[in-house]
Every structure is written in structure tokens, then in C-alpha cells.
Amino acid sequence: MRNTYDIHEFYCIKCGQKNMSLQRKVNHKHAKHHRKKLWCWHCKQEVNCIECKNDQEVQEFLENFKAGKYQKELEDSIKVIEQEKRIWA
């Protein structure tokens, strides 16, 4: 039996742009709008990105982004990332 894969998209919580796509096994489960720290090619910064598994989740992300629902999370995320950089420097 072969593994089957879905394409999941990651969207940046800072700029709202699609950051990258990732193949995931169909049985690979994450919570809805799973966060992953990634380098955003648009912002040129490491930030949390939100994983969207389908068009409906992308639409929900875009609506939440436009409503400003990720602003506090973005600020907290940037603080944590900056602290990690100082620790590892």
C-alpha cells in the first residue's frame, strides 16, 4: 500500500501571504490552524505561520488576518524569537 499525501499551505501571521507548501501524509494530523515557526520570504523575518489544510481553512485564516486577530500573537512571537536569538548568540 502506498502512502498518500496532501499539500498543506503555511501563511504568515505578519503579512498574510502564503509562505510555503508542504506535503503531509494524509494520516498526519495537526490541530486546525497549527502554528510553525518559519522564515517568511515576504517579511524577511522568522515568524509563526499557520498551517491550512484546505481552501476553507485558508479563507478562515484570511478573514482572521484581516480582522487583526493575530496581532497580539505576532507581537509575542517576535519577542520570543528575539530572546532565543540572544540566548544562542
The C-alpha angle with vertex 18 and arms to 15 and 23, in degrees rounded to 5, equals: 145
pLDDT at 20: 92
CB atoms within 10 A of CB 82: 11
pLDDT in tens, 26-73: 877 778 888 998 999 999 988 899 999 999 999 999 999 999 999 998
How far apart (Å, rounded) are the C-alpha atoms in residues 2 and 66? 40
Q: Which of helix, strand or coil describes residue 63?
A: helix
For residues 2 and 54, the model is more confident at 54
- This model's pTM is above 0.85: no
pLDDT in tens, 75-87: 888 888 788 878 8
How far apart (Å, rounded) are the C-alpha atoms in residues 69 and 86? 28
